[in-house]
Structure 1
Amino acid sequence: MILAHISPRTAAKTTSVGWHAHALHEREFPVVAFEADYSRQLAEWDTQAGGFPFPVQQQATPMFYKNVPPTMAPGQIGVVDCGHAEDHGSIVRSVLRIADLAILNTAPTAADIDRVERPLAMRELIDEVAVLRPDGNPPPTWVLLTRTISRARATKQWRDYLEEEGWNVFTTTIPHRTMYARSVLKPVTARGSAYDELVTEMIDRGLLPKAGTQA
């Protein structure tokens, strides 16, 4: 199973991938993380943190869709840190060709939502890979609201807007907190975090198998 974290520009994707992968690992899912970004921030985090408790593979290539499947064990969950779609569209499209779920990271602000819709329409990018996928359908996509402010009305307003525009939006949000903003390059424990809550929501929604039941 491949979970692709995507965004048009900067949206804390590397932070999300690191924490999400740790949360899955701590729930006893077999995890592998993929660096599909030339920045190599995820790989540097892995090194500086003394090594993640799961492998991190380098796959920042338009051949991702061919290279990755043979490397994954049955039941393994691959969490992918995709590069910015505006700059690395060929890699993002390659990842989406085989992704089981796309997680679109965005902050609930006018500027960030505008980036989702313009100049590179993320819905069009996601939809256009349908013809390259075995089932002929685009990958299921859910929006993850990041860098949210506690009790800010903007979060609900933008959630409602995105849902009206036809997007699936996670109830779980990632708050703008120091523990996330400054966590890159350091060891983390995801238990009890917003990313742990995200795993619970994904299981409840049937987007993930229950821990320990994956084939």
Structure 2
Amino acid sequence: MSDNGTPRPHRGIPEGAERQVAALYWEAFGRKLGSALGPPAKGRAFLAAHLHRDRGITALDDAGRVVGVAGYHLAGRALMGGSARDVLSLYGPLRGVPRLALLGLLARRPAEGELVMDGICVAAAHRGAGIGSLLLREIAAVAAENSCSRVRLDVIDVNPRAKALYERHGFRVTRTQHTPFLRTLMGFGAADTMHRPVTPDDLGGGSPR
């Protein structure tokens, strides 16, 4: 932790923390991911086994435990990995092919000069302590260090608290995609695409590495 007791940011997923990160991701996004990667135990194991550890930013407590994580997609790699072959190998062709189609609906690839943030989550016991803001500042710093002009994310209509956090950090809605066919399957019926410009002030993030 930092001197004031706030969890400290760490670039990357610490070795050995893959299951912690997968559990946090599943807690936050299990409804959305469950249709593609469930049941939960199998889905969490898949996530843990296929993380790209260099595409995440974590918040660590004083014991080195992950209490928050933000994933991002940059230069062809995202935090959530796993190929089509990996999915088919685990679930089999009959069940794997529909799951690949669902995962394709969730995929968000960056445009030129863009970093896509593809998920942020904080452990329940640590919410309200500013960890989400800390992670967003580090995401912006990564974007600046990689000469990106903007950060992009998507937030679903059933997560207004996350949308409010993003707006406080300069994100603005640029497009709303209505997906009523996904409400029963994944729990949301629309998603806002939000953009935030990257500025020189973003270099350095929120605190030392």
Which one has a larger percent helix, Structure 1 or Structure 2? 2
Give the structure-1-normalised TM-score. 0.33
Which one has a larger percent strand, Structure 1 or Structure 2? 2
